Structure 1
């Protein structure tokens, strides 16, 4: 899928906060190898490299555009590198102490089996930290799916948007981590984000949830789809003088593999 690094970072102050809320729960003191799966532009991966300067920190992303952007980071720590690859093909090397995946696994069908596989492969004492969005029943996603399934758009967008099986509930991930032999901490947070500007919710989803639609349609068709969708969003997310509230639920899971 084609990604736009500049568009993705448009709301970085909001998008970055869950990453730091997630990694704050990782209590590794001196890891040797740290991996960030779905690293995007690499800015947050660089924060891991700065936190653990003695570790070799690697960011992996399936988007070559994102990896290219990551490799041009200014003042990047010397212990940081980036590779292009699919999350589903990745396996932890021996000695991998921390694995982080922030807002990426919702794009990977079968990620539950990946988590179980990684849990078996990781050494005792290793940390696994994952954050995924839990807002697939929010108006932003429901309206997008309903419009895509309408008579006008279904012929071109059938099967493009995943939703029902994208993520599980916190208790499901808690059971997965615990049954895999991890001491687990699983929670959820809903951020009441205030966005500003014209059609800010549309601008937000252009960088993430709307990407499959952008990739599936011609430029002309996407402009028509977007116009209809924007009108629906304006009703669902009314604008106030001080901004537009865009609630965003996030699911977090952090675990350390028991000896």
Structure 2
């Protein structure tokens, strides 16, 4: 995929930051000395960690130069590094590894979680939030427009760009095998947005990227037009003109014992 677009992502900063705030609120650590924000994006989640733990050393990690540039401008006193989480290694051990809306892009979660837990200190926490919305109309319609349009061959593998996440039972078992205690839950957020066009704008910076990045400009315009028309039918307007975007998210906090 092309680089992530921090400006597009931050159009819905308040809504995107709420899950990070909810996740951080369940972390049981009182005074960690070093924290890692995996997939830190433009630094909105990193800022929450810094506010809660002002004495801690905090590192933000992301593979997007654009996202990191925004994060460094936002939080000039913190350290941000460009790296691929799938292959990143470190000798350092952390009290908190925070991963908001990033692990769903990575395959092989049993092995991935074992590796991330190995970077924790005793008593450290791995705190994770992942969108669990592949069965929502927003995502089913992306795949449908891709399959039915003239770009079908070009977008054949787009639906596989994001990892289908496991069940509560899967993550509980995988994390217990690493010796962690596990707090796991799911929340469905309901976001009132300004019509179908706003839903399209929301996903242009995330879920739609595997579909629209490979397309030529004219194809991209046609794809988004068809997708918006389908979204208009799936998300009817409310009395005030808003549409309600349902957004399930899976959370867990695993503490290494």
Task: Quote the offset at 1:111 in angstroms.
Answer: 3.4
Cα pair 2:21 2:48 within 8 Å, conserved: no
Structure 2 gaps of 5+ residues are none
Task: Quote the offset at 1:198 in angstroms.
Answer: 5.7
Task: Quote the offset at 1:123 in angstroms.
Answer: 2.4
Structure 1 gaps of 5+ residues are none
Taking a change above 3 Å as real, the CA distance of residues 56 and 131 of structure 1, as seen in their structure-2 partners, is same
Residue 146 in structure 1 maps to residue 144 in structure 2: yes
Work out the CA distance in 1 between the residues paired with 2:76 and 2:54: 8
Question: Which of 88, 91, 104 is 1:90 aligned to?
Answer: 88
Taking a change above 3 Å as real, the CA distance of residues 177 and 92 of structure 1, as seen in their structure-2 partners, is farther
Work out the CA distance in 1 between the residues paired with 2:140 and 2:72: 36
Alignment match, 1:167 = 165
Alignment match, 1:183 = 181
TM-score (norm 2): 0.94
Question: Which of 156, 159, 184 is 1:158 aligned to?
Answer: 156
Alignment match, 2:247 = 248
Alignment match, 2:221 = 223
Alignment match, 1:33 = 34
TM-score (norm 1): 0.93
Query: Which aligned pairs between 1:60-209 and structure 2 lie closer than 5 A?
Result: 60-73=61-74, 76=75, 78=77, 80-150=78-148, 152-162=150-160, 165-197=163-195, 199-209=197-207
Task: Quote the offset at 1:29 in angstroms.
Answer: 1.3
1:121-159: CA deviations, max 9, x gaps? Answer: 422111100000011000110111112122522111010
Task: Quote the offset at 1:120 in angstroms.
Answer: 3.1
1:181-213: CA deviations, max 9, x gaps? Answer: 111100001112111256221111112101112
Cα pair 2:145 2:227 within 8 Å, conserved: yes
Task: Quote the offset at 1:222 in angstroms.
Answer: 0.5
Cα RMSD for the two superposed structures: 1.7
Taking a change above 3 Å as real, the CA distance of residues 118 and 198 of structure 1, as seen in their structure-2 partners, is closer
Alignment match, 1:51 = 52
Q: Which runs of 4+ in 1 moved over 4 A?
A: none
Identify the range of structure 1 (41-50 vs 138-147) with the bigger mean alpha-carbon deviation.
41-50
> How many residues were matched structurally?
255
Work out the CA distance in 1 between the residues paired with 2:150 and 2:13: 34
Work out the CA distance in 1 between the residues paired with 2:143 and 2:209: 13
Taking a change above 3 Å as real, the CA distance of residues 198 and 142 of structure 1, as seen in their structure-2 partners, is closer
